[in-house]
């Protein structure tokens, strides 16, 4: 995870260098790291005065690093805050993030201790703390009704100490009006000793028209923003440096404290805005392929404009009086000038009453009709209430009548642009009724685009109205320039180029594809689709785009070479990582040095994260427009699971972080101590932890199955207890390439099979969600085949996730480097040390660099082997092996690639010789006959060999269904086997 990499990069200096010099209450020391061109003691008096009056903790460093790879942006924020005083003080970290972004991690380091956040599902009801104890935890959530703009967290910083805040968020840049815009908020609310912003942009296509705008004066969220408005001459902010090498752009902004004071004295510098576009052609678009996922960017150009039928529905209730109506009129006057000769239009104003400019018809665009429309707009006077339902019904009736009349153009695009600043007060006022009436009126014949102005709008109603009718919703804040934003929104949707767009991919080659049907494509925008590849051995992916434009239907087709695109995408990820790692290291700027390496590590999976990001957005939209509670619940469940998988803060999740406890004297409370579990045997090879009854460690033979593991002495206890019954590790496992081994004790048979999966595939290993509440999924990672091998590539398990739903939800995620345990509390444990933890629902014991034992409810246990390489060859990857140690607690309905065999018995039969063919062996599995041959497999990290009967062709006929039936959509997918069990 990004957070672990980030902590590894920054924590040594953060935790170990709180020297006395940090606490000197001397302004000059804050300036010593900068070459200001002035003597250190010649600090401008006003700057010294401002800093000397500062009583709250001082921000020593604010470092922001962003990496944008093919329009997907990862941003990491590092903020170091110093409390110079002896008494404890509240430090408030706040940072504005773009409304469409998702926070993906937050961590605090205070007093040398790490407080890591956790993304949790939102609970319907608040549950009281056990035993009446309340822990000091802060929760941040994302509301479905308001934009997530300000991330804010307060923490008590001990006297003479400092706090470090680490925040990461991700966003997919949207193309609007022919350009991408990346915005970074620089509003630390005080002057900062070391302030730095670094943005790296890498794209498969040639980057064009890159500009850095002057600092933009935007919303300041309660604080007065004195940053100047953008001047006519668009010059980048002072100290901005832009470099470009081989289509890798690096933009840096590092104003020292004096330069900050010249911009503003309150720390609200404004928004740092980067605009750019990429070169594109008339083809199918840009395809990126990486680790089993793909993302497709489609933005055709030079197409003829499709004529439109548009009805403007404008709120003229009393609340629009003053600035709102004036700015709305200004925007409408401008929009009238931009209507094209082929368009047809009309205006409706609504308050208590509904007025139609030209009743019963849509008017063609002529100089005369435009002049008359301006007169109608000019005479609008706000008064009365707000009849939203009546206005929508009237506008819909106008459009329906036009589309069924003689003047209708079959290739035109029809839409309603609806603007309001309030909630419904006249006529129908219930949101669900208004939405139902709107659906009935629209009849899927046109789209509704909604605009809300100010703070009194029912934005949920407007968003649902737009989503259910193929439109978009735009929010205009109270203090914003409504005229400019209205005109900008119209410009985005005012030039339709295509309608009824359908994008298809090779059948059976992709799955879990995000939205691929689109009602309209507007000039200057972009369609983005992502999905998973199911056939990685395929040479190409066939893509077909069908759509309609102004006079005909069009079809675009091409074959994308997958291996070539994979290599191209890997090359650009490598370029991005190299660019982030390069560059000068500023003295004392430990934060920015660590952030670059951290972003580089997460960028390796950027295509999958694009898929996760789009999938969450899509599920949330589907939830919002769901018509039944069952649909809503299903989409909510999927969105929540995806949010947990990718650690996204979304409207369905909370971000919870424990806060430090500070004593009355300003010092930190002692950290809770943890004693090692009694009887834990430390091992350096891949072996199970061993113990004897008197607590003395016994010597291991090197074979996991050759000794016992009294788990009651190891899991979640610091007291020595008598050893209970031993658990013998079974041979039923999935390890290596992966090779599956299934032991049938009653039949005295061992069966084995291979799964030739693809990188990125997630396999259901154990699926018993409805009964015991246990699910085990494993994710595959790819590796080149060794020299001379007949295989194209090999696959291994890179991650194993065990999800438990009884008695409450908990999970454990294991990789070769770390174990994430989420039970009563969330913990991240390194795999290179020995530890044991009991979380209630799950217990885990780690033998450093060897294995992880997981126990569920006392009668289910799994062992995960850690395969790590000190100096790996190109074809070697750190990976995991999965072994079922105890399955008694799993139900007879258990399924999955391994789970389906736990209560199964098989028989071995011989088919008589036929012709020149020798007699052959078959396994009898229920009513199926499975041809097998005898083989041997090495298990337990190669320490033991087992003879087995091998089933070919991805275990065809041995397993229920086909291999593809066992693919999960994400690591926390607890979906059941769709075809029932394999037992009669």
In residues, how long is the chain?
984
Is the per-residue pLDDT at 737 higher than 50? yes
Angle at 698 between CA 695 and CA 700, to 5 degrees: 145
Local structure of 463: helix, strand or coil: helix
Tell me the pairing of strands 553-561 and 540-548: antiparallel
pLDDT band, residue 23 (cuts 50/70/90) = very low
With CA atoms as reference, report the closest residue to 610 among 531, 672, 502. 531
Is the per-residue pLDDT at 688 higher than 50? no
The residue-averaged pLDDT of 715-740 equals: 59
The residue-averaged pLDDT of 644-664 equals: 86
Tell me the pairing of strands 270-278 and 363-364: unpaired
What does pLDDT average to over the chain? 81
pTM here is 0.70
d(CA 680, CA 711): 10
Question: Is the preceding peptide bond at 792 cis, omega within 30 degrees of 0?
Answer: no
The residue-averaged pLDDT of 7-33 equals: 41
Instruction: Pick the most confident of 388-392, 600-604, 956-960.
Output: 388-392
Residue 514 has a pLDDT of 94
Residue 187 has a pLDDT of 92
Residue 127 has a pLDDT of 42
Q: What is the pLDDT of residues 639-650, one digit of tens each?
A: 998 998 888 999
The residue-averaged pLDDT of 862-877 equals: 85
The residue-averaged pLDDT of 173-187 equals: 94
Residue 503's alpha-carbon distances to 340, 514, 529, 540, 636, in angstroms, are: 29, 11, 9, 16, 26
pLDDT band, residue 276 (cuts 50/70/90) = very high
Other Cβ atoms within 10 Å of 812 Cβ, number: 28
- What radius of gyration do the chain's Cα atoms show? 31
Local structure of 177: helix, strand or coil: coil
Residue 594 has a pLDDT of 52
pLDDT band, residue 250 (cuts 50/70/90) = very high
Residue 975 has a pLDDT of 82
Is the per-residue pLDDT at 983 higher than 60? no
Q: What is the pLDDT of residues 65-113, one digit of tens each?
A: 999 999 999 999 999 999 988 888 888 999 999 988 999 989 889 877 8
Burial class (CB in 10 A: 0-12, 13-18, 19+), 416: buried
How would you classify residue 881: left for phi > 0, otherwise alpha for psi between -120 and 50, otherwise beta? beta
Q: What is the pLDDT of residues 44-59, one digit of tens each?
A: 555 555 554 556 899 9
Measure CA 416 to chain center.
32
Is the per-residue pLDDT at 696 higher than 60? no
Residue 539 has a pLDDT of 87
Name the more confident of 793 and 385.
385
The residue-averaged pLDDT of 693-702 equals: 35
d(CA 595, CA 936): 47
d(CA 379, CA 384): 16
Q: What is the pLDDT of residues 412-463, one digit of tens each?
A: 999 999 999 999 999 999 999 999 999 999 998 999 999 999 888 999 999 9
Burial class (CB in 10 A: 0-12, 13-18, 19+), 132: exposed
Other Cβ atoms within 10 Å of 238 Cβ, number: 13
Alpha helices in 476-582 (DSSP H): 482-493, 562-581
Positive or negative, the CA dihedral 273, 274, 280, 285 is negative
Positive or negative, the CA dihedral 605, 606, 609, 611 is negative
Secondary structure of 623-667 in the HEC alphabet? HHCCCCHHHHHHHHHHHHHHHHHHCCCCCCEEEEEECCCECCCCC
Residue 978 has a pLDDT of 66
The answer to whether the beta carbons of residues 330 and 314 sit under 8 Å apart is no
The answer to whether the beta carbons of residues 501 and 518 sit under 8 Å apart is yes
The residue-averaged pLDDT of 616-633 equals: 90
Is the per-residue pLDDT at 233 higher than 80? no
pLDDT band, residue 790 (cuts 50/70/90) = low
Q: What is the pLDDT of residues 871-916, one digit of tens each?
A: 777 778 899 999 999 999 999 999 999 999 998 888 888 887 776 6
User: Which DSSP helix (H) or strand (E) runs through 376?
Assistant: helix 367-378
Name the more confident of 581 and 907.
907
Residue 697 has a pLDDT of 33
> Above pLDDT 90, what percent of the chain?
47
Residue 962 has a pLDDT of 87
The residue-averaged pLDDT of 208-237 equals: 65
> Above pLDDT 70, what percent of the chain?
80
Question: Which residue in this structure is represented by tokens 């003879």?
Answer: 947
Angle at 649 between CA 643 and CA 651, to 5 degrees: 85
């Amino acid at each position: 995870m990004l957070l672990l990499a980030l902590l590894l990069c920054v924590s040594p200096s953060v935790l170990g260098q709180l020297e006395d010099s940090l606490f000197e209450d001397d302004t000059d020391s804050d300036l010593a790291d900068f070459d200001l061109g002035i003597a250190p003691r010649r600090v401008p008096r006003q700057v010294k005065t401002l800093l000397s009056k500062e009583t709250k903790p001082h921000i020593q460093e604010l470092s922001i690093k962003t990496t944008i790879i093919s329009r997907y942006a990862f941003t990491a924020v590092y903020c170091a805050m110093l409390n110079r005083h002896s008494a404890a003080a509240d430090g408030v970290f706040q940072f504005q993030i773009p409304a469409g972004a998702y926070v993906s991690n937050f961590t605090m380091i205070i007093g040398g201790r790490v407080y890591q956040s956790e993304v949790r599902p939102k609970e319907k009801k608040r549950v009281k703390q056990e035993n009446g104890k309340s822990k000091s935890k802060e929760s941040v959530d994302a509301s479905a009704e308001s934009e997530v703009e300000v991330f804010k967290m307060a923490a008590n910083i001990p006297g003479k100490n400092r706090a470090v805040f680490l925040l990461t968020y991700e966003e997919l840049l949207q193309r609007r009006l022919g350009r991408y815009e990346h915005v970074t908020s620089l509003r630390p609310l005080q002057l900062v000793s070391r302030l730095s912003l670094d943005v790296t942009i890498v794209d498969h296509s040639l980057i064009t028209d890159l500009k850095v705008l002057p600092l933009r004066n935007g919303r300041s969220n309660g604080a007065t923003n004195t940053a100047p408005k953008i001047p006519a001459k668009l010059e980048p902010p002072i100290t901005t440096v832009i470099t470009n090498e081989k289509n890798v752009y690096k933009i840096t902004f590092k104003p020292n404290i004096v330069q900050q004071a010249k911009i503003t004295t309150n720390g609200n510098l404004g928004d740092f805005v980067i605009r750019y576009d990429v070169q594109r052609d008339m083809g199918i678009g840009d395809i990126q392929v990486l680790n089993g996922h793909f993302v497709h960017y489609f933005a055709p150009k030079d197409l003829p404009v499709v004529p439109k039928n548009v009805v403007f529905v404008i709120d003229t209730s009393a609340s629009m009086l003053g600035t709102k109506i004036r700015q709305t009129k200004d925007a409408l006057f401008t929009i009238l000038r931009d209507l094209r000769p082929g368009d047809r239009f009309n205006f409706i104003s609504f308050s208590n009453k509904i007025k139609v400019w030209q009743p019963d018809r849509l008017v063609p665009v002529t100089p005369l009709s435009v002049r008359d429309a301006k007169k109608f707009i000019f005479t609008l006077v706000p008064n009365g209430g707000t009849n939203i339902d009546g206005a929508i019904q009237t506008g819909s009736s106008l459009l329906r009548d036009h589309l069924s009349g003689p003047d209708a153009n079959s290739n035109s695009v029809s839409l309603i642009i609806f603007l309001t600043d309030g909630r419904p007060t006249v006529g129908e006022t219930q949101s669900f009724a208004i939405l139902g009436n709107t659906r009935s009126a629209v009849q899927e014949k046109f789209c509704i685009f909604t605009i809300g102005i100010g703070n009194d709008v029912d934005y949920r109603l407007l968003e649902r109205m737009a989503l259910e009718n193929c439109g978009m919703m735009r929010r205009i804040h109270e203090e914003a320039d409504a005229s400019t934003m209205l005109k900008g929104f119209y410009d985005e949707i005012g030039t339709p180029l295509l309608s009824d767009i359908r994008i298809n991919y090779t059948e059976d080659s992709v799955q879990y594809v995000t939205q691929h049907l689109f009602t309209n494509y507007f000039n200057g925008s972009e369609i983005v689709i992502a999905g998973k590849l199911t056939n990685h051995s395929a040479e190409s992916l066939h893509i077909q785009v069908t759509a309609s434009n102004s006079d005909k239907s069009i079809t675009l087709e091409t074959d994308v070479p997958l291996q070539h695109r994979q290599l191209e995408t890997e090359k650009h990820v490598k370029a991005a990582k190299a660019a982030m790692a390069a560059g000068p290291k500023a003295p004392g700027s430990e934060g920015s040095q660590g952030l670059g390496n951290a972003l580089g590590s997460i960028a390796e999976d950027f295509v999958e994260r694009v898929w996760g990001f789009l999938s969450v957005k899509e599920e949330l939209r589907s939830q919002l427009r769901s018509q039944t509670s069952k649909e809503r619940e299903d989409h909510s469940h999927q969105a929540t699971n995806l949010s947990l998988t990718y650690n996204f803060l979304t409207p369905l999740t909370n971000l919870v972080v424990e806060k430090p406890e500070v004593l009355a004297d300003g010092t930190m409370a002692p950290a809770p101590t943890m004693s090692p579990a009694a009887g834990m045997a430390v091992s350096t090879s891949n072996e199970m932890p061993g113990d004897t009854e008197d607590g003395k460690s016994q010597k291991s033979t090197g074979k996991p199955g050759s000794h016992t593991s009294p788990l009651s002495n190891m899991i979640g206890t610091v007291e020595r207890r008598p050893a209970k019954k031993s658990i013998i590790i079974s041979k039923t496992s999935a390890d290596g390439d992966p090779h599956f081994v299934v032991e049938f004790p009653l039949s005295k048979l061992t069966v084995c099979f291979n799964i030739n999966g693809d990188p990125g595939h997630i396999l259901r290993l154990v699926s018993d969600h409805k009964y015991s509440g246990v699910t085990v999924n494993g994710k595959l990672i790819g590796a080149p085949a060794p020299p001379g091998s007949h295989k194209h590539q090999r696959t291994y398990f890179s991650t194993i996730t065990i999800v438990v739903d009884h008695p409450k939800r908990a999970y454990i995620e294991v990789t070769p480097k770390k174990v994430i345990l989420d039970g009563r509390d969330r913990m991240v444990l390194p795999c290179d040390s020995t530890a044991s933890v009991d979380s209630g629902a799950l217990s885990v014991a780690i033998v450093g660099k060897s294995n992880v034992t997981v126990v569920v409810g006392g009668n289910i246990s799994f062992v995960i082997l850690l395969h790590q390489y000190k100096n790996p060859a190109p074809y070697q990857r750190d990976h995991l092996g999965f072994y079922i140690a105890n399955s008694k607690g799993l139900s007879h309905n258990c399924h999955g690639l391994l789970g389906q065999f736990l209560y199964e018995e098989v028989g071995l039969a011989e088919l008589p010789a036929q012709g020149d063919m020798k007699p052959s062996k078959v396994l009898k599995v229920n009513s199926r006959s499975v041809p097998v041959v005898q083989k041997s497999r090495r298990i337990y990290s190669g320490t033991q060999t087992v003879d087995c009967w091998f089933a070919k062709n991805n275990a065809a006929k041995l397993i229920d269904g086909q291999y593809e039936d066992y693919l999960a959509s994400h690591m926390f997918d607890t979906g059941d086997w769709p075809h029932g069990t394999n037992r009669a």
